[in-house]
Every structure is written in structure tokens, then in C-alpha cells.
Amino acid sequence: MTIRPILTVDSDLATLKQKSAPVEAVDDALRALMDDMLETMYDAPGIGLAAIQVGTPKRVIVMDLSREEEPRAPRFFVNPEIIWRSEETAPYEEGCLSVPEIYDEVERPARVRIRYLDYHGSLVEEEAEGLLAVCIQHEMDHLEGVLFLDHLSRLKRDRAIAKVRKAARAEAA
């Protein structure tokens, strides 16, 4: 397994804005990508990562929502779809490995029903709520080239990107 560099809004916004393509087969090559993504996410550390964040425009997401004291519980979502959204919405303070150090509140449907292929290519359908609902919607946005910043006001978005750039420059100096 290899830790891959994570693209940020500072390093490669153009790639992050790309729409990802459906996966044709869940095979060993795809599992190798998912293993690398998981390792990269744990190393960051983060709770969710979409393939485009490591520069691969495929509809693949990895996630682990376990608490620090709990055993790891990796999850894999290939070609995920939202087949139902609740009308009720809920706010959550989101962050993103591609937008380091920025957190802001986003309002999304509180519950969603999702359909996806798992690590072995089996079709799964489940209802998500709480952090899973937030995280899967955030990560699925990445597959469309959408960042959580795009849900904020333009002023907040511009300010956040400027802050990430400034931090990146300070680190490089």
C-alpha cells in the first residue's frame, strides 16, 4: 500500500473540479487503488476520501467513521448513488482533506438511501443518517467536482481558498 499525495484547492483545484467516471469492474487493480486511498486517508488523518482527491477521476470513495478508541472500520463505496433523500435537513460543521484547516457548516438532507458496490463488487443498498449521511454526501459531491466550499457563500468560499493558499505559502517558505 502506498500513501499518495492529496490534492488541495491550492495545489490542484482544476483536477478537484473534474467529474469522475463510473468504474467498470471491481477488480484487483481497483482494490489496490482503494487500499492506497485508505492508507492515505488514515495517514492524513481523515474520515473520508474520494479518488479524485489523489488525482484519479473514478467514482470511488473510502471512509472510516470509527472513533479513535474503536477498532478500524474501513468502508468502500464504488459507483455510489443516492436513491432517496429526506426532506428534513441537518447542519454539520464539515472539513475536507483538500481544504486543510477550514471548517464550516453545511446543511444537507438528514437521511439518504444509497446504493453502491462494495470492496468485493457486491451491490449494497442502505439508509444512512448522522455522520454517515453527511460524509457520503460530502464525498459524493467530490465525484461531481463539487467541494463543501461550494455550498457556502461566495465570500466565505473565497476567504477559505485565500487562507489555504496563504498557509501553503507559509509552509513552503
Which residues form the interface with Zn ion (CB under 5 A)?
96
If the CB atoms of residues 96 and 136 are measured against Zn ion, the closer one turns out to be 96
Residue 95 beta carbon to Zn ion: minimum distance, rounded to whole angstroms: 8
End-to-end Cα, the chain, rounded Å? 31
Residue 28 beta carbon to Zn ion: minimum distance, rounded to whole angstroms: 27
Catalytic residue of the set 127, 129, 139, 144: 139
CA 153 – CA 160 distance, rounded (Å): 11
If the CB atoms of residues 24 and 159 are measured against Zn ion, the closer one turns out to be 159
For cell 499525495, name the residue. 5
CA atoms within 13 Å, Cβ hemisphere of 83: 10
Residue 27 beta carbon to Zn ion: minimum distance, rounded to whole angstroms: 26
Q: Taking CA 65 as the corner, what is the angle to CA 51 and CA 93, rounded to the nearest 5 degrees?
A: 85
If the CB atoms of residues 79 and 137 are measured against Zn ion, the closer one turns out to be 137
Task: Give every CB contact of residue 21 below 8 A, 6+ residues apart in sequence.
Answer: 57, 58, 59
Query: Is 105 annotated in the active site?
Result: no
Catalytic residues: 139
